[in-house]
Amino acid sequence: MMVNPTAPAVEEPVAAGPAVPGPAVELIEVTRHFGEVKAVDAVSLSVQPGEFFAMLGPSGSGKTTCLRLIAGFEQLDSGRIQIAGAEATALPPYERDVNTVFQDYALFPHMTVGDNIGYSLMLKKVPKSERLRRVADMLDLVRLSGLENRKPTQLSGGQRQRVALARALINQPKLLLLDEPLGALDLNLRQQMQLELKAIQRQLGITFIFVTHDQEEALTMSDRLAVFNQGKIEQMGHPRDVYERPATEFVANFVGVSNWISGQLAQTLTGTAQTWMVRPEKIQMTAPRLAVPEGMCSVLGQIDTIQYLGISTRYDVGLRPGEAGQKESFTVVQQNGQDLPWTTGELVQLCWQREHMVAF
């Protein structure tokens, strides 16, 4: 477990939501196994009303199964699920006040955009005039007004995603589950939709539970996130806490890039043989110099590779064997200014503040 007494606690307010008493969703020791596979293994979590909650983890870590358990598409082996304070463990999907948006959108191809969005109102026999008004409101919300007579095949990926969102929101659910809804979009569109989705969620105050394997997406969009690994939650918290103070080595490696300090190097730098981690952007790279400022750690190395990333540059720096006691390298990320000051093979000094190290 992480121990870093010098790091300040990072707390951010949870988004304000409608006044519903208690959590929007609560999972208590929820388990779902498929034969030998522990897809979801005694998971407990609590999502607050109006919160944007992300489930993050690698492929196969149990995120989708967890979401399907909340929706009622999957049966639990043990544990309990509560939705808006009421027992939902045994309820079928249609009796839960929950809607789901899937990665493939699952639109009806033969229906128009307007009919896709208004389909559930049609099933409920909502009068046509009210149905059309509510569809128009939804089209407005997702910025698709004027496209209501198109078929899904006549839309772009981002537009189809918005139709799926409008269709899920038209019933005004208290809780919306989203399973990798932006997975099929290219990077630019994905980033644009991330902003739009977040803005819509804020505007409506609905609780969102969002599954993704993209750590940047989870960090930028969520109020809080849970990091899944092999059916269990490794850490749950605000994005900045999870990134700055990862609780386990798995979280440190999955969320962002980590430089590890252990053994001889840790002994030299900190006086303990503990394992430590420091993030690439916390490291300053300078020409070798002797004086190390008070409160800083420092190692010497040689630039092995340089990756130009546009907004920043990533350097892999091999540490001098005498420094690490073995061959090790650090990753350093620097914002780009006018020009790139470094070339491959250069000798450099890496410095960082001791308080930026996280101990494990």
Q: Which residues would be at the binding site for ligand ATP (CB under 6 A)?
A: 34, 37, 39, 57, 59-65, 213
Helix spans in 75-226 (H): 113-123, 128-141, 157-169, 187-204, 215-221
Question: Directed axis angle between helix 157-169 and helix 187-204, to 10°?
Answer: 20
Q: For residue 141, what are its two tokens?
A: 């919300």
Least distance CB 106 / ligand ATP (angstroms): 16
Nearest to 297 by CA among 355, 256, 352, 226: 352
- Between 59 and 129, whose beta carbon lies closer to ligand ATP? 59
Quote the least distance from Cβ 256 to ligand ATP, whole Å.
19
Closer Cβ to ligand ATP, 74 or 97, answer by number: 74
Of the pair 117, 211, the CB lying nearest ligand ATP is at 211
Phi-psi region at 117: left, alpha or beta (left = phi > 0; alpha = psi -120 to 50): alpha
DSSP 3-state assignment of 228? strand
The least distance separating ligand ATP from the CB of residue 206, rounded to whole angstroms, comes to: 22
How far apart (Å, rounded) are the C-alpha atoms in residues 81 and 125?
31
Nearest residue (CB) to ligand ATP, 58 versus 85: 58
**Residue closer to ligand ATP (CB basis): 113 or 227:** 227
Min. distance of Cβ 38 from ligand ATP in angstroms? 8
In order, the DSSP letters of 70-119 are HHTSS--SEEEEEETTEE-TT--GGGSSEEEE-TT----TTS-HHHHHHH
Q: What is the per-residue DSSP string for 280-343?
A: GGG-EEES--S---TTEEEEEEEEEEEEE-SSEEEEEEEEPHHHHSS--EEEEEEE--SS----
| Residue closer to ligand ATP, measured from CB, 64 or 116 | 64
- CB-wise, 213 or 356, nearer to ligand ATP? 213
